Structure 1
Amino acid sequence: MTHGFSRHRRTRTSVAVFSAFEADLIRSLAGQLVELLRNENAAPQAEDELERMLDFSGPTAEPEDPVLARLFPTAYPEDEEAAGEFRRFTEGTLRDGKAAAAAAVIDSLEAAGLRDVDPDDDTQPTEVEVELDTAAARTWLRSLTDMRLAIGTRLEIRDGDEGDWEDLPDDDPRRPVHDIYSWLGFLQETLVDSISR
């Protein structure tokens, strides 16, 4: 398992060495996030030319998917009309930004040498070293946060119930997913630490 991110002394970049499996897992999670965010049902067509030009054609209702509802919470829970207008003017841009961040994670992993897994290819790298400048590290941090929120929402993790999750038996099917959730948290912590040094 990776030791997380660290600050490179000479280049001042954030560096992590992932096993090929870990890098492929991150790529898969980022790809799933992009797919969820780019769901065509969530982005209605603009009603007029000005809306299309200004990109103010976002949805007005809270997303049905719990992950999307968590990623795009209602801004004004006490005022449905104001919440809908706020969502209409902001959600499209926010979705695009989150999808672009997840795509950038995929791009940086592939630029670092990650390829599609082929069990018959013995030339594939066993490790993938990712080196991120500050801007790329912040992009990764945003995307790791979104991935972790998505997993936490699917698992229905709540504040204060971490002990229950740590006590899950090894044969519980939620255990490996929670382990990924915890690992992403570890990556977030080490990435924040490497940026702030």
Structure 2
Amino acid sequence: MRKFYLMAALAAMVAMGSAGAASAAEDCSHRFGSHQQVADGGGMQDWSVTELKESGDVAPGFPVAGQLWEVTATVTAISGTSTPVIPNFTATSDDGRYPVLWQVPSPQGISPAALAQGQTSTGKIYFDVTGEDPMAVVYTAGGTQSLMWCCGESMMRMPMDACTCCAEMKEPCPCCAGNMM
């Protein structure tokens, strides 16, 4: 039952806060790899998150308590100057939330440097997973606007019944049906 409530809450955050997919060709705005937009002060950012998986990288100077996980993130400044706020990311599982390890310096990590309109930055974001494997990545801006990525090829090794949006990888996605933006 907890799984249902977790996924329902995540789906509700996406429905309320997501600006939608960048392309009408994408059938579901919350699948890994989809583009979602978020306001950043006077500007607008476009984020894409892919490849949620266990990481083989090292977290220099950070004592990892569990298993290091990673995603590859890409951010583009759509309008105005935009600063990627890496600490807004969290990986989630049925039994926990794992904040991003934004303080871990890594040559593969995404840069938090300001981007001028049209500029893009791509890199890894890391999480210290101390419980169940994560099945979603959430970006929360100011507590009111959230983006979520789940349901993707990289999750096929995980039990899909744990994600009500991804169960059986139905087309269209049951969490997005009727919610296309």
Coarse TM-score class (shorter-chain normalised): under 0.3
TM-score with structure 1 setting the length: 0.26
Q: Which has the larger radius of gyration?
A: 1
Q: Which has the higher contact order (CA 8 A, sep 6+)?
A: 1
More strand by share: 2
TM-score with structure 2 setting the length: 0.28
More helix by share: 1
